[in-house]
Homo-oligomer: A and B are copies of this chain.
């Protein structure tokens, strides 16, 4: 059996009725911080959707609380002490994950017990650039004006923040790997904010540093570059094994611009899951045709699944990937 493996970004969460049962009793941060709950919701999609990997239930901002950031969700992230000045950056700590996020490491061990080897568990973190955008802005934004202005106005302050986040992220992902995740994905969710010069200065060096440090662990390294198509020549050299691409271009074209040295993950438009089942199947077929049997493809959406998605359609998507890719071999 050589079917294409498939999982779904944000597969553990609001799409699933069994998640909503848990969520009704506990808020988002409580689920993240309680290993038993995090483990339960992480494992739910393995049965519900038949995906080929589990992805840790957590948030890309989870590790920043240990740096000294006050974080709430209502429902998006809200930071009451945003990072705006050199002094703010200076006061950030670089935490030891065993002390600041022990619940994440406990959850990983518990998830692996529950999985009993059925599928591998993927860990993750946000990239320094993307996490900085939230920390400086103080939450979500369509354009992150405060962060982007800081990059130009005080580049050295921005670089110090990125350096601290790179070290925090390296420690956090290394701890996840030591606790038992079998791959890690680094989310550059806001690659779309940058031109090539900014990417070269404020994003790529920190991503490279993290992946170089993690290379010795031997686990596959995945990098998601959302909205980053114009940066792919640079993205290709970041040190990841697999680049996770969005839905904005045909996957074959994306892979050609990334080159031969990396595998690819993606890239169905998450909103295609709101369409009829036949159309989901034909779109899966189009992507598989575009890949044309080339090894190194992991199927996924081009972005995290949206909460209102009918979960049956997500299960149908996974079934289509399995059936159609198996038939091709």
On chain B, the residues within 8 Å of A296 by CB distance are none
Q: Is the CB of A248 within 8 A of B192?
A: yes
Interface residue tally for chain A (C-beta within 8 Å):
35
A259 near B: Cβ within 8 Å? no
Q: Is the CB of B308 within 8 A of A145?
A: yes
A247 near B: Cβ within 8 Å? yes
Most buried by B among A192, A269, A303, A308: A269
A148 near B: Cβ within 8 Å? yes
Which A309-326 residues sit within 8 Å CB-CB of chain B? none
On chain B, the residues within 8 Å of A152 by CB distance are 271-275, 279
On chain B, the residues within 8 Å of A302 by CB distance are 195
Residue of chain B at shortest CB distance from A271: B148
Q: In whole angstroms, what is the CA distance A231 to B250 when docked?
A: 11
Contact pattern, A 196-211, Cβ under 8 Å of B = 1, otherwise 0? 1010000000000000
A1 near B: Cβ within 8 Å? no
Q: In whole angstroms, what is the CA distance A142 to B77 when docked?
A: 14
On chain B, the residues within 8 Å of A273 by CB distance are 152
Residue of chain B at shortest CB distance from A279: B152
Q: How far is the CB of A287 from chain B (nearest CB, A)?
A: 11
Tallying the copies of this chain within the complex gives 2
Q: Which listed residue (B148, B195, B275) contacts A248, Cβ 8 A?
A: B195
Q: Is the CB of B274 within 8 A of A196?
A: no
On chain B, the residues within 8 Å of A141 by CB distance are 142
Q: Is the CB of B194 within 8 A of A248?
A: yes
Which A204-262 residues sit within 8 Å CB-CB of chain B? 227, 229-231, 247-250, 253
A9 near B: Cβ within 8 Å? no
On chain B, the residues within 8 Å of A269 by CB distance are 148, 195, 198
A85 near B: Cβ within 8 Å? no
On chain B, the residues within 8 Å of A308 by CB distance are 145, 149
Q: Is the CB of B153 within 8 A of A275?
A: yes
Residue of chain B at shortest CB distance from A250: B196
With A142-B140, A227-B192, A269-B198 as contacts: A149 and B274 at CB distance below 8 Å: yes
With A230-B229, A306-B145 as contacts: A247 and B153 at CB distance below 8 Å: no
Q: How far is the CB of A85 from chain B (nearest CB, A)?
A: 15
With A192-B192, A192-B248, A229-B230 as contacts: A271 and B142 at CB distance below 8 Å: no
Contact pattern, A 107-137, Cβ under 8 Å of B = 1, otherwise 0? 0000000000000000000000000000000
Interface residues of A (CB under 8 A from B): 140-143, 145, 148-149, 151-153, 192, 194-196, 198, 227, 229-231, 247-250, 253, 269, 271-275, 279, 302-303, 306, 308
